[in-house]
Structure 1
């Protein structure tokens, strides 16, 4: 055996370099010539100054010295003929543009006289992917006298055309090779089936398989794998399984590639549960899964919501790194899972782990991380990730821009979302339909309906046709903006554009009608929905039942509940809660309790809304005992009561003459730091009044003083009436003055509460003064108020006081009439209650 010698060529620096620091010191290392001219030889190029090295493969081929004697006379001398190696010829050809003279280079090559050089030449060019150069070289070969058609050349060219999705040309080569009397072999059929599989033309792949069988060419495992992949990549998983069965019946057993293709076919066909079942069967074979297998399994587990199992598979891959090392697809799938769950910290932790493990993040990984922040509306961290991606040299794509745009839309910054949209166009990244839909949703979800509609027109101007997602976003925006006219217009626009509404669009439209109180239109749309292909789902009935309850149409809500059951649509927590409310409002407590128990039997653990709804039902039925028991059950089940639930229980206790329990519940709320809302304060005032616990009521007032502006007029009136009814007139008046000084709303009802209690306690002078306050505040006393004071003067004041009362009331009436005439003539605004009362408060404070 001939020894292999290493030859080193040293390139010394120029004799007189201008800059010695820039003089290159380069070493080329290559193997010496071996006996086989087509053997691949490694050649290293090391530049010590630049600190770079490059390893290349060279093929010499048959050169001038190796040619037969009959060809040597034709290539004597180097003036017109060049003794290039095959690698040198390839380098010269690929430097040319495909329209330049490729034949001129080849005609100067001495190696053209050796027919054995041709397939190697074609192989080198096709492996580099230069399709136009390959075609020109192939045409030149066919014009050579010593050319002979070969299967391997055609197979290489068919595969090259398949790589560039030129299916017709690949098929043309298949027919051409038969004209040149080249009988297609198994590699030819494999290449052709693979070509059609890449293009999604699986039926053509089946036809080629039939041609192969008719030609008595036995299919190999690669043939079946290519055909299964052609069907699976098009989502036709049933046909893929048929071919797999046919493969087994013909005695060709599936390998790991086959199993991965079947799993991928299930994944593409959205048959995630079937893919997981197939993986369990695969475990029983001797074939061990690889990283691709487990990546598909993780993807399917995430899709079916089995996140814990997906994490287990991921950790098992990390433990067995030598067998199934996690790659960038694995990490990205786990990041996507955490993004769906809203666990953005875990998503970022997986991203950091991927980087620390040596995997270089790509655009898909960054988009997954970006999407995790965007789904929660965390626009600032999303923008930081976006900028980091650009700093790493990764150019954002349309998905990156759209995700960032969506982040600003969810964080209620539609103008920022528009800025990202404009930046995308400035950076030559053309917005697609998803980008426009995301911006429409950003405008619509923030109440900018006019801008959203204008964006729809802009989309059509740039040649993008709106789809059902665009219409759904606009319909949802109409509901938020309470624009019932716009709902009709958008539905009409969708019909004119031929956009078929799906279930989501119908749900948005029905919800918008319900939000604006258009029950009849919502019902008509629902009935038309049942006639179309769009099938109502649990969201549809949730919207209908909730809407009916809000409009006090409880009978209609229960009719929809019955219809939902007839259609065998699973009931949701929202439907259960609304239906319980409907039963309770109709006084059907037994049905409400039965539905609550049914909810627990269906595996839907009641949430705080469901418990609160049943508490209200017990409240309506004045059954405080059951309400208290239910409240304890909610606490035992780990459901944190909210302010509304506590208010409902307090009301039930007050109605059941259990005011002491109301105060105990208030202490419970204080310990748990549950906010005291207006309804809770109302019930606490009622409980203190019933118990005549003025000390606690004073503490309630101190609690309310810091937020009088946020307390409703009803609660304040109730508090004033409690003091007045107890005969604490001074306390009532001081509280009233504090309310007015704080700027809280004071209505005519508030004055009526004061006047009623003042007259009941005999404070007729203060009564007349409060009437004056009403006049100055622009609230004229009613006739009943005057009649009440006249009646008191005649029955209870005595003759002397009655005359005084009469004179003051007549004087007040005259001032009122003059004030009214002056108002009519000057149209000047009356004195505000606040201005008058503040001055009165100051006068009283002084004496």
Structure 2
């Protein structure tokens, strides 16, 4: 016991030494307390003396170093043969007007202190760094001071190291901040220091260096584990879209979530939502589910926003089973769904045409009955989503009733989108008058229509052949101040091109340009297509020039339309010129381009060019289609070169992935019969039967012509029976051939049976 008291006495000596100068003052305070009506706080008195002491030392340090009164300084600082506390020295140094003077003061302490204390020197040096950090060219000064501390053997305090790491990080001095950290004593590398270092490393893309520090923190029994600040820093930096350094995969981030979770640290609400959105956006909905499930089960805070992000991803995948599971989990864990939650579910149910289920979810939003604890106010967006879903499945009347119900909801009135959905719905089923009535109601209810309203009605009228009504409505809307856009004009131009009223289409195009309407390439291409179909290629070329002047480029479809137009007008040179221009503009010709040119080259007997185009087509990586082969076969047949046509046919049958169709067989059979090679034509008919290619009326007509020349009645009767069997009706050419032939050979009864659908070959037998 005596030893214990002796120990306590020993321990109290420094405290008594510290209080010794104040004992008379404390005694005076006790006397004054008896005489005064106002109590005096001894701590206030002590603080006042402390402040006086610091002020005296600072005053002595104000002159240049050469003028310091070292005797007074020594008496003040070391009067009792001890060095002032680290806190005192830090406060003194912090009040000096420059880092250089503070450094001189540090040197003085290091050289003159009777009892050198490492903590005192470290605290004083910390003050030097604080002053230097506020001076111009602070980064270079701090670096020099850091080097000086190493030369003097002064250890950095945790705060000093943090200051250096932060300042070096701000200046992008990555090597230096790593040096500061690596030379710290292990006990000083605490969680805040490590967190600060990781944040600075990630800022400059040093992911691997940051991971090395983080791995130590994430060990199960780590001395300095991560905290919430660490988690926020790491996830905020890694989830940034624009971030320097190497790519960090989604799987790496997910792995960090699981590792942090073992230490009870989880991504914040914003970071968790960002991560789940990112995973779902990258098609990794399963991993997004794993992340949210892990955070929930590990006790992390999960809010509706994160669940909404996962619901969006599940909705894109049409995974309604897990949507229901997540909604049930939210309810069980008391995570309050918001209007966005229900809106997401309703939206994806409507997009999947599961409108009845969407209506059920809509009714549950009020939280009435059963054990539903949450009530969510339905908003305009929710109503509009459901109304649009009903209209998309042809239930416009229910959508209309829902709009009436919407008006009864507090603070929920139909808006422009509501009416647009309903107008579009009635348009799609051809009820243009109802759509127009809704537009009139819109104006009556003072709901402003927009350009989408205009386009929806114009498009509906045009698609249902009411082009005049569309123009009338368009003019009326323009007069009411509802401005059209490029889509409005494009719909009208396309409609007039389809009815071959090219002049009106041209007039609307000119009106669009004069109105200053922002155009796009589609409007030009639509008119170009219409002009080409009408054979007005000069006008089409003029519009092409305007398109280029407006800064747009032709697409493959427009070039193909022009090429086809020039081919039809037998202007093959211009068509080939278009192909060259197409290639020069960087627009890659497609199968349609080559097929068009090959077809017209073959028809005009320019088979050498057709073959050249075929080789070019294959060299471009395009696969010839049945149309390509058919065009060449037809061309050789027209030129009388049936042998080459048959060679192409055989190559096509043996090596091509595209088998011959009825059209190709018809071309060959017709050509062979005209050449009086009926036996070869009959072999092709057998081949068609074996390969399952169904003959049509044209096939039989060609065979009947060939058989008539050879007077092969039995074969003709068999083909007549085949036509009856396969319900292949004769046309006027069939009847003309058979009537003339069978009448001449006295077989009119067979013709009558054939026309009535009876078998004719058995009677002959």
TM norm structure 2: 0.52
Cα separation, 2, equivalents of 1:705 and 1:762 = 38
Distance 1:744 1:352, change over 3 A: same
Mapping 1:344-493, distance limit 5 Å: 344=282, 363-364=304-305, 367=308, 377-380=316-319, 387=326, 390=330, 394-410=335-351, 417=358, 421=362, 424=365, 428-445=375-392, 448-449=393-394, 451-461=395-405, 463=408, 465-478=413-426, 481=428, 483-484=429-430, 486-493=431-438
Alignment correspondent of 1:698: 650
Structure 1 contact 371–403 (Cα < 8 Å) conserved:
yes
The 1:722–1:543 alpha-carbon spacing in structure 2 relative to 1, beyond 3 Å, is farther
Change (3 A) 1:437 1:768: same
| C-alpha distance in 1 between matches for 2:717 and 2:438 | 63
Alignment pair present for 1:812 and 2:729: no
| Map 1:130-279 → 2, pairs under 5 A | none
1:363 deviates by 4.1
Post-superposition offset of 1:536: 0.8
Provide closer, same or farther for how the CA distance between residues 347 and 770 of structure 1 changes in structure 2, counting only shifts above 3 A: closer
CA distance in 1: counterparts of 2:520 and 2:275, whole angstroms: 29
Give the superposed CA RMSD. 5.0
- Whole-angstrom distance in 2 between the partners of 1:777 and 1:749: 14
* Correspondences of 1:638-657 after superposition (within 5 Å): 639-657=587-605
> How far apart, in 2, do the equivalents of 1:408 and 1:728 lie?
63
Deviation at 1:581, TM superposition (A): 1.2
State how far apart, in whole Å, the 2-side matches of 1:737 and 1:423 are: 66
Match of 2:81 in 1: none
Tell me, what secondary structure is at the counterpart of 1:693?
A: helix
Corresponding residue for residue 482 of structure 2: 534
Q: 5+ residue gaps in structure 2? A: 1-36, 38-238, 248-266
CA displacement, residues 378-423 of structure 1 (integer Å, 9 cap, x when unaligned): 4339966993994986433222332343334445665665565466
Structure 1 match to 2:704: 755
The residue aligned with 2:719 is 770
Q: CA deviation at 1:561?
A: 0.9
Structure 1 residue runs of 5 or longer lacking an equivalent are 1-68, 70-310, 320-325, 795-801, 820-829, 841-847
Match for residue 538 of structure 2? 590
The answer to whether structure 1 residue 683 and structure 2 residue 631 are counterparts is yes
Q: Is the 8 A contact 2:269 2:305 kept in 1?
A: no
Q: CA-to-partner distance for each residue in 1:676-718, whole Å, 9 max, x for gaps?
A: 666545434434535633121234456899778xx6x766644
- Partner Cα distance (2:577, 2:416) in 1: 48
1:568 is paired with a residue whose SS is coil
Separation (CA, whole Å) in 2 of partners of 1:423 and 1:723: 73
Instruction: Say if 1:635 and 1:787 are closer, same or farther in 2 by CA, change over 3 A.
Output: closer
Alignment partner, residue 492 of structure 2: 544
Equivalent position of 2:472 in the other structure: 524
The 1:770–1:410 alpha-carbon spacing in structure 2 relative to 1, beyond 3 Å, is same
Output the CA distance in 1 between the equivalents of 2:463 and 2:528. 21
Rg (Cα) greater in structure? 2
- Tell whether the 8 Å contact from 1:370 to 1:385 is kept in structure 2 after alignment: no
Kept in 1, the 8 Å contact 2:567–2:600? The answer is yes
State how 1:503-652 maps to structure 2 within 5 Å. Answer: 503-635=451-583, 639-652=587-600
Contact 2:629–2:648 under 8 Å retained in 1: no
Matches within 5 A, 1:727-742: 727-736=676-685
Q: What is the correspondence of 1:289-308 to structure 2 with a 5 Å cutoff?
A: none
Equivalent in the alignment of 2:175: none
Q: CA deviation at 1:435?
A: 2.3
Q: Cα 1:781–1:612, aligned 2, differ >3 Å: closer, same or farther?
A: closer
Q: How many matched pairs?
A: 483
Contact 1:771 1:781 in 2 (8 A): no
Secondary structure at the aligned position of 2:319 is classed as helix
User: What CA distance in whole angstroms lies between the structure 2 residues aligned with 1:413 and 1:633?
Assistant: 49
Displacement of 1:505 in angstroms is 1.6
Decide whether aligned partners of structure 1 residues 314 and 595 sit closer, same or farther in structure 2, where only a CA change above 3 A counts: same
* Secondary structure, aligned partner of 1:587: coil
Question: Normalising by structure 1, what TM-score?
Answer: 0.47
Distance 1:680 1:440 in 2: 48
Q: d(CA) in 1 for partners of 2:354 and 2:609?
A: 46
Q: CA deviation at 1:332?
A: 7.8
| Residue pair 1:506, 1:529 contacting (<8 A) in 2 also | yes
Q: 1:291-346: CA deviations, max 9, x gaps?
A: xxxxxxxxxxxxxxxxxxxx999548999xxxxxx99779989999x99xx96569
Check 1:686–1:775 CA distance in 2 against 1; reply closer, same or farther (3 A cut). Answer: same
Does the 8 Å contact 1:650/1:680 carry over to 2?
A: yes
1:185-228, CA deviations, whole angstroms, 9 ceiling, x for partnerless residues? xxxxxxxxxxxxxxxxxxxxxxxxxxxxxxxxxxxxxxxxxxxx
Deviations 1:559-611 (A, max 9, x none): 22111112121321211111111222333323323433433343323333233
Q: What is the deviation of 1:362?
A: 5.3
Residues 605-662 of structure 1 show CA distances to partners (whole Å, capped at 9, x for unaligned) of: 3333233222223333333344344345545655454443443333343345434554
Note the 1:710-725 alignment, pairs <5 A: 717-718=666-667, 720-725=669-674
Cα distance in 2 for residues equivalent to 1:610 and 1:635: 14
